[in-house]
Amino acid sequence: MDFASLLGIFSGIALIVSAILLGGNPDVFVNVPGLMIVAGGTIAATLLTVQFKDVLNAFKAAWIVFTQDKTNAQEMIDTMLELSRVSHRHGLLKLGDVESDSHVLKRTCNLLAEAASEQVIRNTLQNEIDSLIARHHSVQDVFRKMAAYAPAFGMLGTLIGLIQMLSQLSNPETIGPAMAVALLTTFYGSLLATMVFLPIAGKLHARTLSEVTNLEIIREGCISILTNDHYMHVYEQLASYLPEAQRKPIKIGKAQKPGEENAKAARKKPEASR
């Protein structure tokens, strides 16, 4: 699991639970009808807004994003440099033998091996980027909608509780406990929105930016390979995608064992779920 996600989940839950326990009786924060209104209402409104399969895909994507490490831009740059060395030593046709778990990288290597034009490669990768952004936006939109619906249903539950409380004004002793129960639904809605739905949407957005950066590195790297740029020139073009402090210098004329470039070029690149 991504360490930042793990730390955020446990620290957030621990702080909220600690505050509840230090404040007194934790049983007052448990209200099943209120939770049913907030959770059930949020899910129902979301299903009315988007298709059921989109909701399932959103939760599946969230699980994969939170359990897999994000792709590393530096590793992708290293991979493109190895591909540049392979093309200089063995020609573009050799790139067709490269194996990779990244279907985009494999597809682009095949285009290079088939001597596709620069415009074809650029258009193909740009279509991949646009398609990825659209798919990820639909997934993020599910959680943003749920983050908007949860507080609204929390307020709705509070109004229901207030109506029930006002109907029993003849018994003043019940006003305090009834008011506490009425406010619980607002608490549930705010908690789900700020601790669950919005963080998930933010994490998915960050993963989208990371994957778009990797696709742009593949695009620019393949175009540089196609134009037969020296791998140092390839590096200088791709290094701009990283902050200066994270750029790893490379050595000119780095010695390699025979066949090592093919093994390195076939680095495994896990695909995040769209």
Sequence-separated (6 or more) residues with CB below 8 Å from residue 25: none
Taking the model in full, what pTM does it have?
Answer: 0.78
pLDDT at 170: 76
pLDDT tens by residue, the chain, 274 residues: 567 777 887 888 888 888 888 877 778 788 888 888 999 999 999 999 998 988 998 998 888 877 776 678 888 888 888 888 888 888 888 888 888 888 888 888 888 888 888 899 889 999 999 999 998 999 999 999 999 999 999 999 899 888 888 877 777 777 777 777 788 899 999 999 998 899 899 989 988 998 999 999 999 888 888 887 677 778 888 888 888 777 777 654 443 433 444 444 444 444 444 4
Classify residue 271 by its DSSP letter.
Answer: P
Three-state secondary structure readout of 91-103: CHHHHHHCCCCCH
Q: Comparing C-alpha atoms, which of 234, 212, 185, 257 is closest to residue 40? A: 185
What is the token pair recorded at 79? Answer: 């991979």
DSSP letters of 8-60? HHHHHHHHHHHHHHHTS-GGGG--HHHHIIIIIHHHHHHHHHS-HHHHHHHHH
pLDDT at 269: 45
pLDDT at 1: 59
CB 212 within 8 A of CB 132: yes
